Structure 1
Amino acid sequence: MKALLERGQDAVGIRLLQESFNMGSLSLYASLGFEVKEALVLLKGKFRSQPLSGVEVRPMVSQDVDESEALCKELYGCDRTRDLEYAVNDLSAWVACKQGRIAAYTCSMLALGHSVAETEADMQALLLGAAASRSEVEISFYLPVRYASLFRWCLQEGLRALKPLAVMAIGDYQQPVGCYFPSYLY
């Protein structure tokens, strides 16, 4: 870990996801200067409800990358263009459109991809729409527990909480706005 920190010494900040039940890693990261920035829970399962009307949810295509990246920069505060381009070609990326514009996207319906939405309602529409097309597969994502109403909604929809995690950071950290789910790779 010290070698990694030395390698990143010129970075404005370094982030990681820590499994909160692992006291050894929590102690190691804290002793190296990392601070907990966000409590998360890994959720997994299938939604009970059908997609919401009034929101178009469809697979992301390469023409959506620029608009999705602009949404990411506005809400997430960082550039994820490479992740979006990879997701379009190699993952199951989705967008939710309202009034002809992208209001939410996900790089994957698995926890390895991040998701961004303007509001919790937009995230719900995205999740239900994308999950409906993959009804045979359980989805998973890391939900910040500060979204208490979204967390309760997910539980009521039949998803299971599997384990607690935390976003930890050293250096600069910009708290995302809107609604976001980090990826395992952050």
Structure 2
Amino acid sequence: MKALFEAKLDNLKSELITNINSKVQTLKLELTEGISEETRRVNGVLTTIQLMQSRLDTLEQQRSILQENVLPDQSTANHGNPLHDPNLSLTASGIQVTVNENLIQKAQELVNSLGEEVKSQVTVTDAIRLHSRYNDRPPILKFSVGSLDQKVLLLRNKPQLRFIQQYKHVQVRSSKSRI
């Protein structure tokens, strides 16, 4: 009986070890497959990142070449026409249109109406009329001054316009447009 019991126990032990070994082999195989799949995905992501990095490097090189060769410096670009320089240009809306008007003179008269300090320090260098969006309003007068300090002085004194009958409805603003 003891021999039979030990034989059954040995048989059960060998079956258990075989069963455990097969389960371990199955788990190893599943883990190997999972790891290889994740390795492929990581390699794909790595390849994509390297491709994007090379594209970014190419774009940065092209941008620097464009900036150096094609795109002029803003101070150089604005040097030719002060009306294109946002640091020097202003707009005035509500100034009536007259026949054969001298726009620089009109802008200078607006500046002169702001008082002696502004009149003596601010000079108008150029002026144009922008296209009117509305038929019932005069087109905007865009003008430029000699320096940023002159522009700041003019903008600080613009509230005085509401006390002058001729310019009561005129609004002066800093120009942000390029034309």
Q: TM-score range by the shorter chain?
A: under 0.3
* Greater radius of gyration (CA): 2
Write 1 or 2 for the structure with the bigger share of helix. Answer: 2
Q: Which has the higher contact order (CA 8 A, sep 6+)?
A: 1
Write 1 or 2 for the structure with the bigger share of strand. Answer: 1
TM-score, normalised on structure 2?
A: 0.25
TM-score, normalised on structure 1?
A: 0.24
